[in-house]
Chains A and B, each alone.
Chain A
């Protein structure tokens, strides 16, 4: 039995010890926003925040999140309003197929939480664990820049 809070909602679940946090979110809680890409913790499509810190949920066990707070892509929008990072990805074209996007926006949110005014080099450094095969990354950098500018405004 584990207890975890996901996007502000408390859950109590019985899961097998080998259950990954990603599978727990997707299949036990129906939160399919987080995706499995590589399955080995290198592509970032499964990125969630655990007590505010980025982790790859495909290589974390669900039990590891016991008594902790998880934020997924579904938890970023407030009252039906997109998070500024999400809105910036739409406006600046920071995605195409969208499969890596939940991980990208979760990582970008964590970046702006830690550093509201990142340089391009800092954006690249922080986002290096989120692969994207569609965009070539230029518009992801642009989206994060736009989100940061808007938060400052």
Chain B
């Protein structure tokens, strides 16, 4: 079906404020009498707090308040499991944990005051490695985790936060029938989401006693709920005001400093702004979980996979508080099965406490870790069996009617088409340009997100339509997508549909942004609201004998009767659709034998997608995710030594620059079968996860060296090459 506006490459019209500097992010919000909050953080990974002396800080001119845990109610915070104090009480469990907070008239005085707080600590034994943390004699982080609100019941060791398990068939039986059982262990690094806007928030208590919040948080209604619990305030007393968010990638969904900003506002009677510096982000944000993943796969000689067992340890750090899923684990763990039909499967993922930075969600949480392991493992199996890696995959790809690890039934499976498209576009079968050049492939797929979203439409007497939503703009272009949907349904031009940003007073609930959800749930809410408004417009036109296209006249006629034409829709998708989106990627790399340096010469990414609503935004999601995947593959790493992160700036923690991006070929396979408006699917998390294994497989092809732990640095390749020569 041809569309008028859906599918058109309209530019990023939502961004006029962004290119002109007029867009106000939460860190830009200012209010009369605003003061600054700053937190003092623990320098030790595990210690008892014996004494805190804040007297010198209190005496500093310009300081309005200094708070420690003793000044706050004893309430634990979290997103699903509530195990984290707002300020450490008696004990710190990681370097960077907040122990005191200061409010001062300017940020520099606040920082100066932090230096005047004396804390006496007594060291406690600490544990940093997730394998060591599960030993019988390991130091214990939390004496009784089961007592925490939201704590899962299963706990094989006190340092286990949660266990997530997926099971199909009988793994032992499958292994018994296998010709070979291959086992490999992979490791992935601690990695920050890398958004360039550190967490920011402003909290003010207004004259009516209401708590006004501006925050870099993508789930305003969940934030309101969580704040209500953390502050013991009725939810209606809190209003979250929406601002643009300077990058999310999964990391902007927690309370972070907001409860402290509230308490400082309460004590000082002034609005309080708290901005994390980037060093604090790297020390105490909520980064991607590092992992140790062991995969054991039983295969027949012809390459058919009969059984797989996966064990993943996620080093979750000192608190479980940042994980939002009911499992208090990472849903991406299910991707241990990859894009393959594996009749007998057991995946077990353990989130483990340690004296490190607490980890959270990052773009397609758990999947880049699992897909690196799984797709590297596939190539290693192919090599062992003497099979072409493409043939091994072909023999095992998911098909219509198959089931995922979680039992979910699949339809419209385009795994094979997507793989073949990537191979063709990358000239997979053609000779390479020389020695030390290699090609590697990898695949993944991603669900289309679910959740619940509101849209409200109003016909203005100008004939334009206002779309009111409470979805913050995290940069994905979702607002423009929703405008396109409304314009398409109502037969309007894009500039006749305007966005009006609602706040948490305007709707009762909304699941916010994330999880590859918004085009689907927001898009469907906007679509159905537009259909309802269209029916009203038509009825009104008939009533007044006005042509249905004369919107201004219709609106004015209704206004004369004292009415406004309005329609709203609350769209609630509880269950995942039976379709997912497949990705197949091919990296071509060159390895420098003298230094081990890996250069990506070309990258091909193929995506099985639904109807594309905005091609520019769609391609932007593919490219952005892909380069994040490349950073994960080759350079990003928060290095830690005994819980201390040594890469505390963006100078040391390397994100890809404009010089690091490879020539790119994108292949799009459109299949309009998604649950989104006009049969759209999702794209935000489709391009990130397969990049690292594609690169690892290409490196192995180029020089015979298999890197099992990310990132694939020149040093690792260099030493592996030396070892290979020595053998």
Contact = CB atoms under 8 A, between A and B. Distances in A.
Interface of A: 16, 18, 23, 26-27, 30-40, 42-43, 45, 72-74, 76-77, 82, 86-87, 89-102, 105, 123-125, 127-128, 130-141
30 contacts: A23-B107, A30-B30, A32-B24, A32-B27, A32-B30, A33-B22, A38-B278, A39-B649, A40-B649, A76-B20, A77-B20, A89-B15, A90-B12, A90-B16, A92-B616, A93-B12, A95-B18, A96-B477, A97-B474, A98-B244, A99-B195, A99-B196, A99-B197, A100-B196, A101-B15, A102-B19, A133-B196, A136-B623, A136-B627, A139-B619
A108 to B, nearest CB: 10
Contact of B623 (A39, A124, A127, A138): A138
A136 B626 contact: yes
B25 interface: yes
A19 to B, nearest CB: 8
Contacts of B107: 23
A90 B15 contact: yes
Given A82-B20, A93-B620, A137-B658, A16 B15 contact: no
B21 A95 contact: no
A30 to B, nearest CB: 8
A40 B19 contact: no
A150 B661 CA distance: 25
A32 B21 contact: yes
Closest 10 CB pairs of A and B: A33-B21, A97-B475, A98-B18, A99-B246, A136-B627, A96-B475, A73-B21, A136-B623, A32-B28, A38-B650
Contacts of A39: 277-279, 649
A90 B247 contact: no
Contacts of B197: 35, 37, 97, 99
Given A90-B19, A93-B477, A95-B15, 13 more contacts: A32-B28, A39-B649, A43-B650, A73-B19, A73-B20, A95-B18, A98-B23, A98-B244, A134-B247, A134-B475, A136-B627, A136-B656, A137-B658
Interface of B: 11-13, 15-25, 27-28, 30, 107-108, 193-198, 244-249, 275, 277-279, 473-477, 616-617, 619-620, 623-628, 649-651, 655-659, 661, 664
A37 B21 contact: no
A140 B468 CA distance: 30
A135 B17 CA distance: 18
Contacts of B656: 136-137
A130 B21 CA distance: 16
A132 B619 CA distance: 16
Contact of B650 (A32, A42, A74, A87): A42
B327 to A, nearest CB: 28
Given A33-B20, A42-B650, A98-B15, A16 B108 contact: yes
A133 B628 contact: yes
B108 A98 contact: no
Given A16-B108, A93-B616, A99 B661 contact: no
A95 B19 CA distance: 8
A101 B625 CA distance: 18
A123 B52 CA distance: 53
Contacts of A102: 19, 21
Contacts of A127: 658
B658 A128 contact: yes
B507 to A, nearest CB: 23
Nearest to A76: B20
A105 B623 contact: no
Contacts of A40: 278, 649-651
Contacts of B649: 38-40, 42
Contacts of A42: 649-651
A91 B16 CA distance: 10
Contact of B16 (A31, A72, A82): A82
A43 B196 contact: yes
B664 A138 contact: yes
Nearest to A75: B21
A72 to B, nearest CB: 7
B34 to A, nearest CB: 10
Contacts of B477: 93, 96
A2 B25 CA distance: 28
A136 B19 contact: no
Contacts of A97: 195-197, 244-248, 473-475
Contact of B19 (A37, A86, A125, A139): A86
A136 B616 contact: no
Contacts of A124: 658-659
Contacts of A92: 11, 616
B658 A139 contact: no
B624 A74 contact: no
B201 to A, nearest CB: 15
A75 to B, nearest CB: 9
A101 B247 contact: no
A128 B657 contact: yes
Contacts of B25: 35, 99
Nearest to B34: A27
A13 to B, nearest CB: 14
Nearest to A133: B194
A93 B617 contact: yes
Contacts of A26: 28
B108 to A, nearest CB: 6
Nearest to A34: B21
B427 to A, nearest CB: 21
A128 B247 contact: no
Contacts of B244: 97-98
B21 A72 contact: yes
Contacts of A136: 620, 623-628, 656, 661
B601 to A, nearest CB: 16
Contact of B659 (A43, A76, A128): A128
B678 to A, nearest CB: 20
Contact of A101 (B19, B30, B198, B655): B19
B295 to A, nearest CB: 29
Contacts of A123: 658
Nearest to A99: B246
B653 to A, nearest CB: 9
B21 A96 contact: no
Contacts of A43: 196, 650
Contact of A131 (B196, B624, B625): B196
Contacts of B278: 37-40
A43 B387 CA distance: 45
Nearest to A16: B108
A138 to B, nearest CB: 5
A133 to B, nearest CB: 5
A18 B22 CA distance: 27
A98 B11 contact: no
A91 B474 CA distance: 19
